[in-house]
Amino acid sequence: MLINNEILNDFIICHYKAYRKSKHQTGIISDYQSLYNQLKQKGKENFERTITKNNNLTVYHQNCGNNTPEEGILLNFKFANANIDITLDGIEFTGKKNITPIFITPFEKVTTIDKLFIFLQATLIQTEFNLKTVNCKVIHGKNIQATQFKLSSTAKNSKKIIVELNKILLSSNEPALFLNRHCDICEFCVSCKEKANADGNISLLDKATSKAIEKYKKKGIFTIQQLSYIPYIRKRVINKPS
């Protein structure tokens, strides 16, 4: 199964969603996602205008091939082979084999998800195409600010996540469904909540964490109904003599 941008981003947010997308399932795109896509496109256009106007950098629009430039910035740059099909918002070449992947967000602040996403993209590209990546950049805000991060700061974690993703994509069994805050803006919101209700999914409970649910599973508890059978012993209040 090819790893693409959509699956990669979805895996950070929800393993179950990434699995469904890998099976080419689709849902109803939320208003939030539609708005984000529009703002993202505007951000990319602003970035291109800015670098063309303020820098002596060459801007390209092309896919990865044998004739990659030694310097300049390429936009919407695609890396594809038998394992991945990933398009970077931008990529800066500082040598024939040295690259700085670029991610563009329309928001003012860089989120943890933004950082992890560009790190995962960079790790996959570095591995699959024998390119050297030291830094990654996130372009953010109306003023097209650039924040740079070192890939080495999360290299081990990124590789671990990619291993987990490949296991899920290659497995014939779907991962466990866990409802989270992203569900309300997810295209699969309705169908996943229907499944959760039908299965008595413990993540329906308020403040149910993934760690807590894993502990229950080890005890053979998989549903809200099973959880309700657990006897809770109240601690006696012992009054100390005055």
List Cβ neighbours of 7 (8 Å cut-off, separation of 6 or more).
18, 21, 22, 165, 169
Assigned domain for 175 exists: no
What does the pLDDT average to over 64-74? 64
Tell me the residue range of the domain where 212 lies: 181-228
The per-residue pLDDT of the chain, averaged, comes to 87
Query: Which has more confidence, 229 or 26?
Result: 26
Task: Give the C-alpha separation, 55 to 226, whole Å.
Answer: 63
Task: Give the C-alpha separation, 194 to 197, whole Å.
Answer: 5
Assigned domain for 239 exists: no
Query: Helix, strand or coil for residue 4?
Result: strand
pLDDT for the residue 235: 44
Assigned domain for 236 exists: no
The answer to whether the beta carbons of residues 11 and 162 sit under 8 Å apart is no
User: Global pTM?
Assistant: 0.85
pLDDT above 60 for 133:
yes
pLDDT in tens, 205-234: 988 888 888 888 888 898 998 888 876 544
Task: Identify whether residues 129 and 202 lie together within a single domain.
Answer: no
What does the pLDDT average to over 110-127? 95
Sequence letter at residue 60: Y
Sequence letter at residue 238: I
Assigned domain for 163 exists: yes
Assigned domain for 241 exists: no
Residue written as token pair 């657990």: 230
Count Cα neighbours of 20 within 13 Å in the Cβ-side half-sphere.
Answer: 17
| CA 36, 38, 39, 44 torsion-angle sign | positive
Count Cα neighbours of 179 within 13 Å in the Cβ-side half-sphere.
Answer: 21
